[in-house]
Structure 1
Amino acid sequence: MPESWPYETPHEPKDNSRYRRKLSRRLATAALVLPSAAWPAWAVGCDPDDKECQVDEYLTSVKGDPDQLRAFLLDLPKGGDLHNHLRGAVPTEKLIDYAIRDNICINDLTLQSRRPQPCKSPERPATDMNGDVNFRNRVLGAWSMEGFTNPDLQAGHDHFFATFGKFGAAADRHDGDSLAEVARITDRQNQVYLETLLGARSTDTKKLVNKVWGTQKPVTPNDFGTLLDKLTENGAMAAIANHAANDLAQVYTDARNELQCADRQNADPACGVDIRFDHQVGRNQPQAVVFAQLLLGFLLQGTQGWDRSVGVNLVQPEDGKISLRDYHLQMQMIRFLKGKFPGKHVTLHAGELVSGLEGVSYHDLTFHINDAVNTAGAERIGHGVDLRHEDEWRALTHVMRDQHTALEAPLTSNCQILKACAPGEEPDTHPLTAYRDANVPVALATDDAGVSRSDMTEDYQRGVTHFALDYYALKKLTRDSLEYGFMPGGSLWRNRDGFEFVQPCEGADPSQEHPGGTCGEYLDANVKASLQWTQEHRLHVFEEKYSNAAHRLADPAA
């Protein structure tokens, strides 16, 4: 074992019983009288009826070929995306199209977009990009990570987060268009569920805070009850929540109209993607504003007539000055509000830090994930990169395992923003393997695929090439990406530690697109289980295809 190995024991696939079965089959086959060369390659490692094993053998055969590997992983049914910032997910070319369509202004020096016209020097109208390729390419590079090669940690981090302020005006008024485009991408990535982050009514919330409390007045835990009463007095926050729900419903409706979902003959395949919203709250804001916007996220989950707001999350750089100062206070806010609104969902960016970022102390790296899990009670955390700096980090992973606190792991984003790319790479080794070794549930995610110039398939490809994930591991990732989604309804699985169908679906055949009987009735009544069944059916079709491909690789004449 190399000295640089960052963990105590070599990593095994998470389903160790399958690992042992597979190993015993290999040993038994090797002991046969017939020489191994007389057996097809797929038979050496797998039982003839073991489709999973055969697909794993196929994956092993192509993982050294990037094109074949990507084709395999693009074809893989990948469940859902649980960590997706809507505005950061839109391809930059689409944002440029929006800017040209609206003819907004773009600063020729900073490349920041602005509304409205007329443009003032050094601004240029966005329509100039139609005839000026150099201008367009400069905008593309400023609004995304396209062509960014600076190896400096801070520079990559800063460039990534600066893109949002630069393309913000171009994205304004296009949330419906953007959601439709991201749904198309989700469908093309062979996924059935999208949980996207979008804020709502932030200006109204700030005005209310200024009226009843003051935006600069400090907040302590002793103030939470009083501040809650002031914000909800006379139905003020409830009214904002109703307006916010209407706004989000309009975004959803606009996206469905763009996709022509009401037209059965011409409906885009992306209409089949189930879309839900997590309310995002900027963590680098005044304390009372953060509290009020968190409150709005909880209220949105119960707004009558609107059921697609399913969670609340804190966003913006975790290494921001205010975020670092108020991190524990914000976790206390969430714990307080969870007590007032039981059953509402919380997922949090936590541990999106590495040593070497400006302003980040060693102490900051020791508690953020712990605080999100143990103080705020988050059901999922996003990023979690600083794990091995956390106090008692092994005990923390055991808590996450036992509480079924899932990790949203956007591998491409972590590499670009934090230079946490793979085990053994500086400045901090990526802890994905440590989470999986502790049996913490994990779902790969895209974060901001438009800014990153990536997609979900790339994240799965990183999983295979950088973290040695086999097919069994990939299959579990796809299942967990739906099991830990906040969509309504009961699960297809009897419990979260295994993949046995619930009683109404015992014995049901996943080769069927939709089973009948009690299982069909159960699926019709439970959105989550229905999406999970779709995933299982797609996995069945996928395994049939690639187990046959494994046979052909082993015996081209067959």
Structure 2
Amino acid sequence: MHLFVIFICSVIFGIETNNAATLKSSKNIDATAEYYKTLITGDTNKLSELNIFITNIPKGGDLHHHYSGSIYSETYLNWVAKNNYCVYREDNQTLKIQKYKIETRVSNLTDSAKALCITVGEIYLDNDFYRALLKRWSTIDYTNHYHEQLPPSKQFFDTFDYFGPISDSYYNEGLMLLKNTAISENVQYIETMLKSGPSISVTDELNVMLNSLNSKSNDSEIDIALTAYFNMVANDSNVNTIINNYVRMIGTSAAGINDDNFAIRFQSYVSRGNSPSQVFGSLFSAFSSAIRSDLIVGVNIVGPENGIVSMRDYTLHMKMFRFLKQRFPTVKLAMHAGELVLGLVPPEGLQFHIREAIEIAGASRIGHGIDIFYEHNAYELLEKMKQLNIVVEAVMSSNAFILGIENNAHPMLVYKAHGVPMVIATDDAGVSRSTLSNEYLIFSDRYRPSYLEIKALVYNSIHFAFLNESEKQKQLDKLNARFENFEAMIAKVASTLYDSSISSLSSTVEQAVSHMVIFFCLVCYLSN
């Protein structure tokens, strides 16, 4: 009987302890949700306090992330200085030079060109030129005062041409900077687009065959051409070497980045503005590399969708993806699709991009998805996205800048209403002068979702990551721990600011219950 009483008391005490821990965690969640609610409730929310809250909240992953567009211009200037490159201070058609462009072949310059190309040190001495350069290399100062300016979409995409010559010089250093920024704002995972799948050289005959294709070509013509190309490059030793070198470059770039606090993976990609032969060759390299490296977890297609070639060949590109997906079925696909608005292209150009990315190419994630309003049978498509768990990557800063889509005009509310899963991402934080924290802040301030809605979006960023199940579970376990710590911290903050007496009473009650259990067991023990 004596041992039995000890056993029963141990069980009771263990259950009580576990229940207390669970109860405390649940109370922390409730306290965090209530505190957050006070920050967004009312005619004017507490934006500054909300900013602190959002900065500290765990954010899981950033799934729509371009490496070169995520590095800030100031870093690129540091790299220009490190390489002793220069930047042109004015345009000159005779010399074929463009203001604000980087020159990497300084030793080959003529005296006339060299006189127009200034060092980073000289740039820092000329504040007006420095500020003007930042306006060309990013979106800084675009909307806060009047100045001569390009159309927003051109301003945004032109930035890549300015810093492009230096953007691939220090991949490992750049990734380490992005990692440190991510950790500082409680981001644990990034899927980035570092470099496109390498180009492949084939015979002129094959190039002509593929370049004769367009979106109106029938499936038989397309399959014949793509099969001929595929059969030629699939076992080509030179192509194999190019792809292996690309995979090795990715591994070298990621050296030392992955650890217990942070993980990075890569999407290979193609640029949609190139010729059909170039697109398919790069796409073959991208798919091939994805099955050779655990670091390369998916394939994407990038570039302005409203470009002449992009619009002309859109359906053809989707069929190229379908062709390669059939031959590389394990490769996951995310697609820039529907990054269009009324007026940017003719109305008929708004009606099929998202659908074809899903139904033809086989995408499981859609980047942007802005023109969903105009898609053929939009309600049916939304239901299909919901049923297939096709997630939309919402990137609010770039959507507002490039397309002028924000607030209630943004389709986030449509996707939410129809149960289509979403994640919040940055796109090109360096160009947009933003962070993932800022994207969540915009979302919270604009739409005032509940705390649990925000938390669900964060978890989506891991659930829909292109990680294998084992890696995904590890990230989810880490995210659980981060949220537990965050909610305990916020509960303490809320207690200090609003209801210390209630918190104290709750703590006293919990202690009393615990003491009663101990007293009961002691009495039982002594009576036996």
TM-score range, shorter chain: 0.7 to 0.9
**Aligned runs of 1:311-326 on 2, under 5 Å?**
311-326=298-313
Residues 386, 396 of structure 1: CA spacing in aligned structure 2 closer, same or farther, 3 A cutoff? same
Q: C-alpha root-mean-square deviation of aligned residues, in Å?
A: 2.3
Deviation at 1:75, TM superposition (A): 0.7
Deviation at 1:70, TM superposition (A): 0.9
CA distance in 1, matches of 2:124, 2:28: 51
Q: Which amino acid in 2 is paired with 1:530? A: K
Q: Which structure has the higher relative contact order (CA within 8 Å, separation 6+)?
A: 2
Q: Is structure 2 residue 271 aligned with structure 1 residue 282?
A: yes
Deviation at 1:280, TM superposition (A): 1.7
Q: Which amino acid in 2 is paired with 1:527? A: E
Q: In structure 2, the residue corresponding to 1:77 is in which secondary structure?
A: coil
From 231, 242, 245, the equivalent of 1:243 is 245
More helix by share: 2
Structure 2 match to 1:464? 444
Deviation at 1:135, TM superposition (A): 2.1
From 51, 56, 63, the equivalent of 1:70 is 51
Q: In structure 1, the residue corresponding to 2:211 is in which secondary structure?
A: coil
Structure 2 match to 1:537? 481
Deviation at 1:302, TM superposition (A): 1.4
Larger Cα Rg: Structure 1 or Structure 2? 2
Q: Which amino acid in 2 is paired with 1:101? A: K
CA distance in 2, matches of 1:538, 1:382: 27
Structure 2 match to 1:107? 88
What CA deviation, in whole Å up to 9, does each residue of 1:378-412 have, x standing for no partner?
Answer: 01010011111111112111111111111111111
Residues 330, 454 of structure 1: CA spacing in aligned structure 2 closer, same or farther, 3 A cutoff? same
Deviation at 1:432, TM superposition (A): 0.4
Structure 1 match to 2:222? 221
* 8 Å contact kept, 1:193–1:273: yes
Residues 83, 209 of structure 1: CA spacing in aligned structure 2 closer, same or farther, 3 A cutoff? farther
What CA deviation, in whole Å up to 9, does each residue of 1:488-513 have, x standing for no partner?
Answer: 2x2xxxxxxxxxxxxxxxxxxxxxxx
Q: Which amino acid in 1 is paired with 2:239? A: M
* 8 Å contact kept, 2:25–2:484: no
From 399, 412, 424, the equivalent of 1:444 is 424
Q: In structure 2, the residue corresponding to 1:106 is in which secondary structure?
A: strand
Structure 1 window deviating more from structure 2 (163-172 vs 281-290): it is: 163-172
What CA deviation, in whole Å up to 9, does each residue of 1:144-179 have, x standing for no partner?
Answer: 111111799971111011100011113231222211
Unaligned runs of 5+ in 1: 1-45, 262-269, 424-428, 491-525
Structure 1 match to 2:218? none
CA distance in 2, matches of 1:553, 1:419: 39
Structure 1 window deviating more from structure 2 (130-139 vs 533-542): it is: 130-139
What CA deviation, in whole Å up to 9, does each residue of 1:320-342 have, x standing for no partner?
Answer: 11010010111111111111111
Deviation at 1:528, TM superposition (A): 1.0
Structure 1 match to 2:123? 129
Deviation at 1:276, TM superposition (A): 0.5
CA distance in 1, matches of 2:272, 2:486: 41
Structure 1 match to 2:37? 60
What CA deviation, in whole Å up to 9, does each residue of 1:476-495 have, x standing for no partner?
Answer: 1110000111122x2xxxxx
Q: Which amino acid in 2 is paired with 1:239? A: T
Residues 402, 457 of structure 1: CA spacing in aligned structure 2 closer, same or farther, 3 A cutoff? same
Residues 294, 554 of structure 1: CA spacing in aligned structure 2 closer, same or farther, 3 A cutoff? same
Deviation at 1:209, TM superposition (A): 6.5
**Aligned runs of 1:129-528 on 2, under 5 Å?**
129-149=123-143, 155-200=151-196, 202=198, 205-208=199-202, 212-214=206-208, 217-219=211-213, 220-222=221-223, 223-253=225-255, 256=256, 272-303=261-292, 306-357=293-344, 360-423=345-408, 429-488=409-468, 490=469, 526-528=470-472
Deviation at 1:128, TM superposition (A): 1.4
Q: Which amino acid in 2 is paired with 1:299? A: S
Deviation at 1:553, TM superposition (A): 3.5
* 8 Å contact kept, 1:238–1:299: no
Q: Which amino acid in 2 is paired with 1:327? A: Y
Deviation at 1:539, TM superposition (A): 0.7
What CA deviation, in whole Å up to 9, does each residue of 1:426-483 have, x standing for no partner?
Answer: xxx1100111121211110000000000000111011111122221111011100001
Residues 239, 484 of structure 1: CA spacing in aligned structure 2 closer, same or farther, 3 A cutoff? same
* 8 Å contact kept, 2:246–2:289: yes
TM (norm. structure 2) is: 0.81
Aligned residues: 453
What CA deviation, in whole Å up to 9, does each residue of 1:31-66 have, x standing for no partner?
Answer: xxxxxxxxxxxxxxx999543333222112123122
TM (norm. structure 1) is: 0.77
Q: In structure 2, the residue corresponding to 1:173 is in which secondary structure?
A: coil
CA distance in 2, matches of 1:233, 1:467: 52
Residues 198, 214 of structure 1: CA spacing in aligned structure 2 closer, same or farther, 3 A cutoff? farther
Q: In structure 1, the residue corresponding to 2:449 is in which secondary structure?
A: coil
CA distance in 1, matches of 2:87, 2:321: 39
* 8 Å contact kept, 1:153–1:419: no
* 8 Å contact kept, 1:209–1:289: no
Residues 179, 83 of structure 1: CA spacing in aligned structure 2 closer, same or farther, 3 A cutoff? same
CA distance in 1, matches of 2:434, 2:260: 22
From 109, 117, 121, the equivalent of 2:106 is 117
Q: In structure 2, the residue corresponding to 1:386 is in which secondary structure?
A: helix
Q: In structure 2, the residue corresponding to 1:239 is in which secondary structure?
A: helix
Unaligned runs of 5+ in 2: 1-22, 91-98, 214-220, 505-528
Q: In structure 2, the residue corresponding to 1:416 is in which secondary structure?
A: helix
Q: Which amino acid in 2 is paired with 1:539? A: F
CA distance in 2, matches of 1:321, 1:56: 48
